[in-house]
Amino acid sequence: MTAKIVNPKIFDMKYKILNRNQYDHGLPIWASISNIRQDKIKVLTTTISKMYIENIPTRESIESFIKAVEEQPHDQVIESFYTKDASIQENQNTPRIGIENLIENERKMLQKATKVHSECIRPFFCIEDKVVIRWKFRFEWVDGSITEIEEIAYQKWSGEKIHQEQFFYDPKQFIPKKTL
């Protein structure tokens, strides 16, 4: 995993309100005025920093995910890139939870289609463990109709895997507009 440069103020946000002058010799002010040993503070800060960095996906992981969605069946992508307790939510509907449930739902959808074309409309956005991707999908259904949709996926990653995902789209797009 690639380490990211992180602003140390992130780790002391709850103390920011108490003292605007956050740092004294590289340590939070609350550490220097408390009777906590300085070496313990450095260990704690390092541990928190490591936990924070480990929760952030790498750019390579996000690119790999996008490539997989564009090239592989979506049920296989879920299997590879989602946590065991992941959730997916469509607009404001109730989220589906658990990787087995997510894979089963995706397979049901894929059985209704003869072909699915997926395209990431770049750029994607990543801030800390949050990722936003704009997608364009084209579904060719077994009845010969075609559906084209665009959606925004808002994801919360846990390290190198997606833990939560919510899609935002206009449901009217699912009305088939063309036939083969």
Query: Counting Cβ atoms within 10 Å, is residue 164 exposed (0-12), middle (13-18) or buried (19+)?
Result: buried
Domain with CATH 3.10.450.50 in the chain: 59-179
Q: Does position 63 have pLDDT exceeding 50, yes or no?
A: yes
- Give the C-alpha separation, 179 to 136, whole Å: 19
> pTM, whole model, 2 decimals?
0.71
| DSSP secondary structure code for residue 58 in this structure | P
Residues 2-21: what's their mean pLDDT? 44
Query: Counting Cβ atoms within 10 Å, is residue 131 exposed (0-12), middle (13-18) or buried (19+)?
Result: buried
Element containing residue 179 per DSSP (H, E): strand 178-179
| DSSP secondary structure code for residue 132 in this structure | E
55-74 burial code (b ≥16 CB/10 A, e <16)? ebbbeebbeebbebbeeeeb
What's the pLDDT band for 35 if we cut at 50, 70, 90? Answer: low
List the beta bridge partners of residue 164: 87, 156
What is the percent of the chain where pLDDT is above 70? 69
CATH number for the domain formed by residue range(s) 59-179 = 3.10.450.50
What's the pLDDT band for 178 if we cut at 50, 70, 90? Answer: low
The pairing of strands 161-168 and 82-90 is: parallel
- Give the C-alpha separation, 124 to 119, whole Å: 12
pLDDT in tens, 87-102: 999 999 999 999 999 9
Residues 161-173: what's their mean pLDDT? 97
**In this structure, what token pair is assigned to residue 101?**
């449930």
Lowest mean pLDDT among 1-5, 52-56, 84-88, 146-150: 1-5
Residues 141-167: what's their mean pLDDT? 96
**Cβ–Cβ contacts within 10 Å for residue 99, how many?**
17
